[in-house]
Amino acid sequence: MFHSLKSLEAFESGISVIEVSHISERLDGVVSYCKQDAGTQDTGTTNPEFWQIAAENCDFEILPEDFLTFNKLEKLFIGRNKIKAIPDDIARFACLKELYIYGNALKTLPESLGSLPELRILDLSHQRLVSLPDTIGNLKKLEILYASNTEITDLPESLWRLNKLKYLNLTDNKLTRLPEMVSNLSALREFRLYNNHLTDLPDSLSLLKNLRELYLNGNQLKKLPENIGMLKSLEVLDLRNNRIGAIPESLGEAKNLIHLDLRANHFTKLPECLAKLPNLKKLDLRWSHLREHPAWLQSLEDRGCAIYL
């Protein structure tokens, strides 16, 4: 199984001696780990407690059983392999904080994925996943979720219970809607949704008071929530390549907005409220259907905003 293993690294903090150990015959000579300091009490164990394993680009088709013996793991990197299934035994990693399984051949994930109580970062991107497990909402400490470039068309209701989530990347999927429950992601700071099939947005999106960056480019949006200006923390709003016919007046209330990209939409005029955005540094209006350029654009330029027409 390990004939093509290119790199496998395992580290333990607070130690001083590094050597190669025979964890098993199949791992002989390829596992580096850190041995306990000579001043630390010897527990007599011959299997060190790794906290990180990196095994990317190794052509694995299954998760090696040897990995499952290291139940103190905190980080596991197994991206860019050929893994077709994650075993239910993934739940053994009760200490796992970061799991990177992107770029494999997964179509589904086990429900046991939701039994990782310490998980903070999960990367599932770049594979043919068709769904996420309902138990994903049990990952109460999850802060960063990558689930981009998949075949996902809908999301489990439990996902919207992840109220510690700060970064959510759902780009390049086949999503057609967002539920009103999106407002439950109260800690969310960056939301990436570009290159999906969204046609509208729930009004509750505007309740994400901590949201700083929102990327919606490359969808099929025809309008925005009328209350979008309630996103008081928003700094970046990317709406290019949609079908938006009008910009809501309330957007002028998003006082922290720095970068506004409106390229390639269908609106024919702009609300003057945009001239009141005090922190706007970039406004991109290229390839729009504007009938005329409003005079107030000059005042934006005069105070240092870069405008692209």
Task: Kindly report each contact of residues 236-240 with a partner whose C-beta sits within 8 Å and lies 24 or more positions away, as own/partner.
Answer: 236/212, 237/261, 238/194, 238/214, 239/265, 240/264, 240/265, 240/284
Range with the lowest mean pLDDT among 58-72, 105-119, 183-197, 267-281?
58-72
Radius of gyration of the chain (CA): 24
| Dist CA 97 CA 79 (whole Å) | 16
The proportion of the chain whose per-residue pLDDT surpasses 90, expressed as a percent, equals 78
pLDDT digits (tens, 9 = 90+) for 38-66: 333 443 344 556 789 888 898 999 998 88
> What percent of the chain stands above pLDDT 70?
84
pLDDT recorded at residue 281: 98
Question: Which of 53-57, 170-174, 181-185, 286-290 is predicted with the least confidence, judged by mean pLDDT?
Answer: 53-57
pLDDT at 274 over 60: yes
**pLDDT computed for residue 43 by the predictor:** 39
Classify domain 1-174 by CATH number.
Answer: 3.80.10.10
pLDDT value, residue 46: 45
pLDDT value for 245:
97
Fold assignment, 179-309: 3.80.10
pLDDT of residue 29: 38
Mean pLDDT of 279-283: 98
| pLDDT at residue 305 in the model | 98
1-174 against 179-309: fold identical: yes
Mean pLDDT of the chain: 87
Domain boundaries, the chain: 1-174, 179-309
pLDDT for residue 231 is more than 70: yes
Q: Return the ∠ at Cα 74 (arms to 34 and 132), rounded to 5°.
A: 150
